[in-house]
Chains A and B, each alone.
Chain A
Amino acid sequence: NAGVMQNPRHLVRRRGQEARLRCSPMKGHSHVYWYRQLPEEGLKFMVYLQKENIIDESGMPKERFSAEFPKEGPSILRIQQVVRGDSAAYFCASSPMSGFLRNQPQHFGDGTRLSIL
């Protein structure tokens, strides 16, 4: 399967624990985006990364949330000391590049549903 791979599909954490969500972009894609979807809402942009660089983190909460996209391996969205309000579906998307291909659509993974007990 050459699509965007996210794991786990479902993640349950207790308040105060850490959550790590992983995303492997489509083959040949070097740009990764993370979005959060609250119940009955649209997706909200969180962060945009290229390999080893954060390009736009304007949608990231100032505390407890971080993201990385290392040279090797998947992109990781990390949530420290989770709270009930972090319960949501987290989607990752990838695209080949910006520039002249900037009109290329983003391809989405199936999402990770995070539940906080």
Chain B
Amino acid sequence: AQTVTQSQPEMSVQEAETVTLSCTYDTSESDYYLFWYKQPPSRQMILVIRQEAYKQQNATENRFSVNFQKAAKSFSLKISDSQLGDAAMYFCAYKNGANSKLTFGKGITLSVRP
């Protein structure tokens, strides 16, 4: 079975600084997709960024980028120029190419210091 591990329960970053959130996963599949979701206090689940395993290029979305290391099964999220609105729980998620369900990590709480 696939597993997703987020070993850091909490992180803190100074406003305008850069922070990296870690995620590792375990799978024997070659076709899969990885996602980072943000959950603010309002509890919405907001898609931040996604990565297809077959793509070597790391995905980027404005201030958000990933470091996808396929051999190491690592998928970290980098947030540049952190803003107060970035404070939230962040979940790493995995989806098998042939299976539609998402497998989530336990999440990490990110706080942003003004």
User: What residues of chain A have their CB less than 8 Å away from a CB belonging to chain B?
Assistant: 31, 33, 35, 40-45, 48, 55-56, 58-59, 89, 91, 93, 95, 98, 102-103, 105-108, 110-111, 113
The A contact surface, by secondary structure, is strand
Chain B hits for A59, CB < 8 A: 101
Chain B: number of interface residues, binned into ranges: 20 to 34
Please measure, in the bound complex, the distance between the C-alpha atom of A48 and the C-alpha atom of B91, giving whole angstroms. Answer: 20
Asked if B105 and A105 make an inter-chain contact with CB atoms under 8 angstroms apart, the answer reads no
CB of B11 closer than 8 Å to a CB of A: no
Chain A hits for B44, CB < 8 A: 108, 110-111
Chain B hits for A44, CB < 8 A: 104
Q: Given A43-B45, A110-B43, A31 and B104 touching (CB < 8 A)?
A: no
Please measure, in the bound complex, the distance between the C-alpha atom of A91 and the C-alpha atom of B37, giving whole angstroms. Answer: 13
Interface residues in B61-114 by Cβ distance below 8 A to A read 91, 97-107
Asked if B50 and A105 make an inter-chain contact with CB atoms under 8 angstroms apart, the answer reads yes
- A41, A105, A110: the one contacting B35 at CB < 8 Å is A105
Please measure, in the bound complex, the distance between the C-alpha atom of A55 and the C-alpha atom of B52, giving whole angstroms. Answer: 23
Q: Name 10 extra pairs, CB < 8 A, besides A59-B101, A103-B33, A110-B44.
A: A31-B100, A33-B100, A42-B104, A43-B102, A45-B101, A45-B103, A56-B101, A89-B43, A103-B97, A113-B43
Chain B hits for A111, CB < 8 A: 43-45
Chain B hits for A91, CB < 8 A: 45
Chain A hits for B98, CB < 8 A: 102
> What's the nearest-Cβ distance from chain B to residue A99, in Å?
10
Interface residues in B17-41 by Cβ distance below 8 A to A read 33, 35, 37
CB of B42 closer than 8 Å to a CB of A: yes
